[in-house]
Amino acid sequence: MKGFFKSSIGKKLVMSITGLFLILFLLFHMSMNIVAIISGEAYNKVCEFLGTNWYALAGTAVLALGFLFHLVYATILTIQNRKARGNDRYDNQNLPAGVEWSSKNMFVLGAIVFVGLILHLSHFWSKMMFAELAGCEGLQFGATDGAAWINYYFSQWYNVVIYLVWFVAIWFHLNHGFWSAFHTLGASNSKWIPRLKCISTWFTSIVMGGFALTVLVAFFTAK
Amino acid sequence: MAQLDSKIPEGDLKDKWTNYKEHQHLVNPANKRKIDIIVVGTGLAGASAAASLAEMGFKVKAFCYQDSPRRAHSIAAQGGINAAKNYPNDGDSVYRLFYDTIKGGDYRAREANVYRLAEVSNLIIDQCVAQGVPFAREYGGLLANRSFGGALVSRTFYARGQTGQQLLLGAYSALSRQIGLGNVEMHSRTEMMDLVMIDGRCRGIVTRNLITGEVSSHFAHCVILATGGYGNVYFLSTNAMGSNGSAAMKAYRKGAYFANPCMVQIHPTCIPQHGDYQSKLTLMSESLRNDGRIWVPKKKEDAEALRKGLKKASDIPDEDRYFYLEERYPAFGNLVPRDVASRNAKERCDAGYGVNNTGNAVFLDFKYAIERLGKDVVEQRYGNLFQMYQKITDTDPYKEPMMIYPAIHYTMGGIWVDYELSTTIPGLFAAGEANFSDHGANRLGASALMQGLADGYFVLPYTVQEYLADQFNVKRINPKENAEFQKAEKEVKEYIDKLMKINGKHSVDHYHKELGKIMWNNVGMARTKESLEKAISEIKALREEFWKDVKIPGSANGLNVELEKANRVADFLELGELIARDALHRNESCGGHFREESQEEGEAKRDDENFMYVGAWEYKGYNQEPELHKEPLNYQFIKVQKRNYKTGK
Amino acid sequence: MAEGHKSLNLTLKVWRQAGRNAQGQFKEYTVSNISTEASFLEMMDILNEQLIETADPDGPVAFDHDCREGICGMCSLFINGRAHGPDDDITTCQLHMRKFNDGDKITIEPWRSGGFPIIKDLMVDRTAYDKIMQAGGFVSVSTGGVPDANAIPIPKPDADEAMDAAACIGCGACAATCKNGSAMLFVSAKVSQLALLPQGKAEAARRAKAMVAKMDELGFGNCTNTGACELECPKSVSISHIARLNREFLKANIKD
């Protein structure tokens, strides 16, 4: 394994595995949100369960680490790739139809996802897990009253718009990232590339649809 | 007249090669490291020779004019490679492959060489499979075979329509391995400009780096030329744009004899010419003749209507179609050898039955194959060729028949070599298409790949050692400190200067096209005394004009494509004359060489009494008549017959 | 065949660069009466004849080409924004002028990729691909002493897939098209071909590692699975071979 993570495929493997891990997290997060649609109380139970327990903290740390790796390697790869491209650019380049738009813009999409994430963390995580840890007081709602925070933020139309735009960016990022991750793992061949791409679109649409649903339901049911 | 010694080993035909190998001299492994070998050209013969010799422990320097050894024109061979494996159990054997090759060559090739070729053919297939060449296979996992022109058995191994590519990539991979190991020093984008002779032996070459323009020289204990054929003398041919006869001509001027230059193969299935600006002709694999049927209209008015675009092929009913090969040669039908197929196409077109706007095309029809086998099978067999045809002509061969016409394809003639592939210059060897040895007056389909690889993998590694066995004591020479090398370099620089200084009016291509026209019209598919004499005088005049009036822009110090072309065309202008001279002296029709004076009942008439020899030409100076040397061909093991593709017996 | 045969007048915007380190720029030329039956490179020949006739200060345009039948892999032009021009599954030499219209302005550029430095005008240096091959693109067998060709049966689907990969002509369109300047399609074609065949399996791990290491060392970029390479590949080599390369490389690294 010596030098493996320095090789191009090794670096891509880091992207692939951390990416799949983050996708798994999103699936889990989305399922949780669906709970919020069905019952605010149940959702708060989950929030309480995850709270500041050691396993939740450990999970968060691993998640943050995964995210960090994904981001750092993405930056390294992008810099290297720009360099590999050489100094001169084509005056005119028309890629043939069939090259996914998202595949060409993964870094930009990733950057949008990142900015959205900061906003999202400041909206929720800082008021919930972080507030609990830091012992912040005097917030509008309790640290485990996730449902209240959801209803609060998504009653404001501009938050809804921002989140929906963010979801679209994630959709594009994931739609390429999902099958690409399997491809990098080598779990693909000429038969499976179209299948994986199809699964990718369905999976991404379901997950992101779930998130969008949470936001929209919160907006329309807000008083 | 010096006697040409072909050094054929004693013994029965079957034992000659074995005897040779068992009694030849070898070089001890420690001494191999002290010996340098130069290989010029990295096609099938060159790459396989360079790789094999390096594997044995020699230090090899390889040269090619392309940017990579993988680009040599062997790559363009489509159809396949012959071997006497007899996997299909249809009666093939080493002897039969040998016999077919000699017969196909119209009894103008050396028995011993051809037998050896057939003998090692099986080893080639084994070697290539071991290298990972993805030959076509049956569902059972074993190798597939197909039939080819001039043979009654299926002995051709193939990799779709890209057999040459796959075999070359195999040889290239072996070469790459040796380059990686440091046993081969590779010089790409480098052209050989001359040989360096020391004490009557070839000791190295002078080269020009095509990027920097630098002229330098390289020492070796022996030099192998694997520089391909000279079909581009005709300007339009199926050869690559860069294919040239310059290395052979430089060797010829240094004393290597040039054998049978008039033996040029015209391939029957090429895409017809479409305009004056055309730069090359494209071959459609001969394998198409397995399932395609060749025809022209029976009625002249149909042919005229086709030429004017008033009718399409499909408008002509079967009874008005003349399947001339099937009717004239029932035993072989559309699979007659290339020279026969080509000449018949020309005969029909000259008689006014040509089917395209220029009147120089015949049909190759897949309608019947599609009816018999279904479109799927046809597509599976020839899909990539059909696609290629459609891209070039914008016509769908599934619906309308292809149009084909013969074109210059391969040169059987080349540098004269003996049984050891040694030229008349000690220390200079020639392999593959560059030598003349195995195909006589006509080459059978799928045999060029076989010969290139046989020479490179299995012949030269032995015979070169015979020469080198006493050479390990010759110390490596540093060209920079050697007067002979310096003199050779200086001559090359002067030659380049001479070309650059002409600064005339016309581009190099202008002269090349003119030469091509003279050659095609007078030294083409049908030759006469008059046409050949005319060609000789016209080429001479053109050559004079070239040296007075060619225009080469730019400078010699750096990349200069026009200078590269000028060097090659200057050599073609002498080679063209040599071809015509050889054709003129050979007053018989044999294989690819057809003299109108020598025919009976419309078929080529060979003259074994007067011409059963190899004609090897010795250079006597610029504008001097070369001297002819004859190597008689004694057929001891085979009964010389008239080629008969009509009755099957 | 002569149906629709037309003549074109065209403006060519061609990249001219005197040498590797020289400053390059576009120059415009016009060519007239180009037959739609002509190939693109024949049109370039006509342009060059014209530049020689008129003693153009930059001289004829340097470009790589050799076999002119789509197999040697030497031709390498980027035409109107696409490697090998506006047609699918072909090399530049197989592009015909019927793909263009009268009055068109055609932009002709060299491959632009860090791995392929420009030598002159439209000619680039692709020796990097040779170096990758030298690192491991072979089966380590020497001449002679190999088993009979039919000693090891190979399932037809494997042989066919190996042939699909082996069709690569090493032209460099993949790396030239890739936004990351990655040579993965080229490398994967060879790794995949030889990994599929029993003859190549013995050293599959070593090969994958050596070729990837050389590719990285030579400064080619990292594959991000955009798939642009397979769409521009004149021989339609599929990115499924990249998946196999990834697999082979992973397997090779897990083993040690």
Query: Does residue B404 sit in the same domain as residue B501?
Result: no
Can you tell me the distance from the alpha carbon of B343 to that of B339, in angstroms, rounded to the nearest whole number?
Answer: 6
Q: Which residue has the higher pLDDT, B391 or B108?
A: B108
Instruction: Parse chain C into domains and list their residue ranges.
Output: 7-120, 127-255
Neighbouring chains to B with at least 3 Cβ pairs closer than 8 Å: C
pLDDT value at residue A223: 61
**DSSP state, B625?**
P
CB contact under 8 A, C140 and B177: yes
Residues of chain A in contact with residue C26, where contact means CB-CB under 8 angstroms, are 91
- CATH number for C7-120 (one of 3.30.710.10, 3.10.20.30, 3.40.50.1100, 3.50.50.60): it is 3.10.20.30
Residue B17 forms part of a structural domain? no
Between B and C, how many residue pairs show a Cβ–Cβ distance under 8 A?
225
Query: Which of B304, B374, B294 is CA-nearest to residue B336?
Result: B294
Q: Cα B633 to the chain's mean position, in Å? A: 21
Query: Does residue B518 sit in the same domain as residue B393?
Result: no
Query: Which of A46, A44, A30 is CA-nearest to residue A214?
Result: A30
pLDDT in tens, B356-366: 988 999 999 99
pLDDT in tens, B586-632: 999 999 999 999 998 878 999 999 999 999 999 999 999 999 999 99
- Provide the pLDDT confidence category of residue A53 given band limits of 50, 70 and 90: confident
- Provide the pLDDT confidence category of residue B384 given band limits of 50, 70 and 90: confident
Is B338 marked active-site? yes
Chain A residue whose CA is closest to C80: A92
Long-range CB contacts (within 8 A, 24+) of B624-630: B625/B581, B626/B258, B626/B578, B626/B581, B627/B1, B628/B585, B629/B1, B629/B2, B629/B4, B629/B257, B630/B4
- pLDDT, average across residues B4-11: 94
Can you tell me the distance from the alpha carbon of B450 to that of A66, in angstroms, rounded to the nearest whole number?
Answer: 58
Can you tell me the distance from the alpha carbon of B396 to that of C141, in angstroms, rounded to the nearest whole number?
Answer: 43
pLDDT in tens, C154-197: 999 999 999 999 999 999 999 999 999 999 999 999 999 999 99
Residue B96 forms part of a structural domain? no
Q: Which residues pair with B415 in a beta bridge?
A: B258, B435
Residues of chain C in contact with residue B145, where contact means CB-CB under 8 angstroms, are none
* Complex confidence, ipTM: 0.97
Residues of chain C in contact with residue B169, where contact means CB-CB under 8 angstroms, are 166
Query: Which of B49, B57, B188, A3 is CA-nearest to residue C133?
Result: B188
- pLDDT, average across residues B108-131: 98
Chain C residue whose CA is closest to B277: C42
- pLDDT, average across residues B317-329: 95
Which H or E run contains B604? Answer: strand B603-604
pLDDT at position B1 over 50:
no
CA geometry: angle B528, B531, B534, nearest 5 deg: 145
pLDDT value at residue B645: 75
pLDDT at position B432 over 70:
yes
- Note whether C90 contacts A: Cβ–Cβ < 8 A: no
Best residue in C246, C248, C251 for a mutation probing chain A (most A CBs within 10 Å): C246
- CATH superfamily, domain C127-255, is Alpha-helical ferredoxin (1.10.1060.10)
Whether C and B touch (3+ CB pairs < 8 Å), yes or no? yes
This prediction has a pTM of 0.96
Query: What stretches of B230-333 adopt beta strand conformation (E)?
Result: 258-259, 264-270, 293-297, 321-322
Can you tell me the distance from the alpha carbon of B328 to that of B345, in angstroms, rounded to the nearest whole number?
Answer: 12
- CATH number for A7-84+103-221 (one of 3.20.20.370, 3.40.50.10090, 2.170.120.40, 1.20.1300.10): it is 1.20.1300.10
| Number of compact structural domains in chain B | 2
Query: Does residue B271 sit in the same domain as residue B398?
Result: yes
CB contact under 8 A, C90 and B391: yes
Mean of the per-residue pLDDT values of chain B: 95
CB burial of residue B300 (10 Å; 0-12, 13-18, 19+): exposed
Divide the 256 residues of chain C into consecutive groups of 10 and give the mean pLDDT of each group: 74 97 96 95 97 95 96 97 95 96 97 96 98 98 96 96 98 97 98 98 96 97 96 96 97 89
- Amino acid letter, residue B81: I
pLDDT value at residue B2: 58
- pLDDT, average across residues B422-426: 98
CB contact under 8 A, B176 and C39: no
Best residue in C107, C160, C184, C226 for a mutation probing chain A (most A CBs within 10 Å): C226
Can you tell me the distance from the alpha carbon of C98 to that of C89, in angstroms, rounded to the nearest whole number?
Answer: 16
Residues of chain A in contact with residue C15, where contact means CB-CB under 8 angstroms, are 91
Residues of chain C in contact with residue A12, where contact means CB-CB under 8 angstroms, are 222-224, 246
- Note whether B105 contacts C: Cβ–Cβ < 8 A: no
Residue B638 forms part of a structural domain? no
**DSSP state, B592?**
T
Domain holding B295: CATH number?
A: 3.90.700.10
Spatial contact of B49 and B226, defined as CB atoms under 8 Å apart: yes
Structure tokens at A91: 């005056």
Query: Which of B165, B135, B158, B160 is CA-nearest to residue B71?
Result: B165
- Provide the pLDDT confidence category of residue B648 given band limits of 50, 70 and 90: low
Q: What range does the domain containing B401 cover? A: 267-408
Domain holding B557: CATH number?
A: 1.20.58.100
- Provide the pLDDT confidence category of residue B152 given band limits of 50, 70 and 90: confident
Residues of chain C in contact with residue A87, where contact means CB-CB under 8 angstroms, are 114
Best residue in B66, B73, B137 for a mutation probing chain C (most C CBs within 10 Å): B137
- Note whether C29 contacts A: Cβ–Cβ < 8 A: no
Can you tell me the distance from the alpha carbon of C1 to that of B632, in angstroms, rounded to the nearest whole number?
Answer: 49
HSE, CB side, 13 Å, CA atoms: give it for residue B640. 16
Residues of chain C in contact with residue A92, where contact means CB-CB under 8 angstroms, are 80-81, 107, 109
DSSP SS3 for C187? helix
CB contact under 8 A, B126 and C147: yes
Can you tell me the distance from the alpha carbon of A37 to that of A217, in angstroms, rounded to the nearest whole number?
Answer: 7
Write the residue in A8, A89, A94 that is nearest to C212 by C-beta: A8
Which C positions 226-255 lie with beta carbon below 8 A of chain B?
none
- Note whether B158 contacts C: Cβ–Cβ < 8 A: no
CB contact under 8 A, C96 and B392: yes
Can you tell me the distance from the alpha carbon of B226 to that of B223, in angstroms, rounded to the nearest whole number?
Answer: 10
Give the gap in angstroms from C-alpha C148 to the nearest C-alpha of chain A: 31
CB contact under 8 A, C221 and A8: yes
pLDDT value at residue C4: 57
% of chain B beyond a pLDDT of 70: 99
- Going B502 to B507 to B512 to B515, the CA torsion angle's sign is negative
Catalytic residue among B160, B338, B443, B527: B338
- Note whether B139 contacts C: Cβ–Cβ < 8 A: yes
